[in-house]
Homo-oligomer: A and B are copies of this chain.
Amino acid sequence: MAAQEPEDTARRRAPRVDAIRNREAIVEAASAVLAEQGTAVDVREIARRSGVGMGTLYRHFPKKEDLVHTVLRKDFSEWAESARQAAVDAEDPWAALTAFYEQALTGYARHRAIMENFSLTWTVPDLEGLQQLRRVIERLCAGAAGLLRPGVTVDDLLLLLVSLGHAVQITDDCRPQMWNRLLRISLDGLRAEHHEPLPADTAPGTRPPGPDREVRPSGPSHPAAGS
């Protein structure tokens, strides 16, 4: 209504160039900071590293959570995609599985916020990236059907990824590639020559009803002691 451009209506106003640059700077800085320090970072640190003011940051991402989610969605997707690609490029089904884990663990497992989120939400299939990841693993499972130990599920492979991802997080700074040894061990343990059944996963969905947490046979009781 106000301020009409004579014949340029089709062309969108240009000045978003810097806005886009800023948004990207924010996301990039946030990605770096979140990777380094996890989601507990001070928003100011992100603003400082992006070179923008707090207001700019909050213009693009009204809540800290919004920024974190945006970054995680992006990084998580890229992560899943890079791992998928590594699997696709492999020569045989088992090599695909191996390459998948290697790429996944090499590429992003040091991203603290991703691992944080992965750990917190791996059972909640709401995240796009997580779904992607699960689909990749499903395909790998299908492809390596005869080679995989019977009874191994997609959830097992996903949990293995989280678990090894954590190992990467805590070793990669001081012992790069040490996690690779665990990976070999686990992959070997996944092969078909192991015939014993895996222990039943008693609660496929959620916690089973019944007396709460009587899992621990001999450990001390205080972690469960209410007060």
Q: Which residues of A contact B (CB under 8 A)?
A: 1-4, 18, 21-22, 25, 28-29, 31-32, 35-36, 49-53, 56, 75, 78-79, 82, 86, 103, 106-108, 110-111, 119-120, 122-123, 149, 152-153, 155-156, 159-160, 162-164, 166-167, 169-182, 184-190, 193-194, 196, 198-208, 213, 215-220, 222-227
Question: Can you name the residue of chain B whose Cβ is closest to the Cβ of A107?
Answer: B219
Contact A160 B182 (CB under 8 A): yes
Minimum Cβ distance to chain B for residue A31 (Å): 5
Contact B106 A216 (CB under 8 A): yes
Q: In the complex, A167 Cα to B53 Cα: how many Å?
A: 39
Identical subunits present: 4
Q: Which of A1, A25, A120 gathers the greatest number of chain B CB atoms within 10 Å?
A: A1
Contact B216 A107 (CB under 8 A): yes
Question: Can you name the residue of chain B whose Cβ is closest to the Cβ of A202?
Answer: B177
Contact B184 A186 (CB under 8 A): no
Q: In the complex, A186 Cα to B149 Cα: how many Å?
A: 12
Minimum Cβ distance to chain B for residue A41 (Å): 13
A-B contact pairs, 10 of them (CB 8 A): A29-B227, A32-B222, A155-B178, A159-B167, A160-B185, A162-B170, A163-B167, A174-B203, A178-B201, A185-B189
**Given contacts A2-B52, A79-B219, A187-B189, could you give 4 more A-B pairs where the C-beta distance is less than 8 Å?**
A3-B22, A159-B178, A174-B203, A174-B205
Contact A225 B2 (CB under 8 A): no
Question: Can you name the residue of chain B whose Cβ is closest to the Cβ of A184?
Answer: B198
Q: In the complex, A2 Cα to B75 Cα: how many Å?
A: 22
Contact A176 B203 (CB under 8 A): yes
Q: In the complex, A110 Cα to B86 Cα: how many Å?
A: 34
Contact of A163 among B29, B107, B122, B163 (CB under 8 A): B163
**Which of chain B's residues have a CB closer than 8 A to the CB of A225?**
28, 32
User: Assuming A18-B2, A149-B185, is B155 touching A35 (CB within 8 A)?
Assistant: no
Minimum Cβ distance to chain B for residue A4 (Å): 8
Minimum Cβ distance to chain B for residue A95 (Å): 14
Contact A179 B159 (CB under 8 A): yes
Q: In the complex, A188 Cα to B148 Cα: how many Å?
A: 13
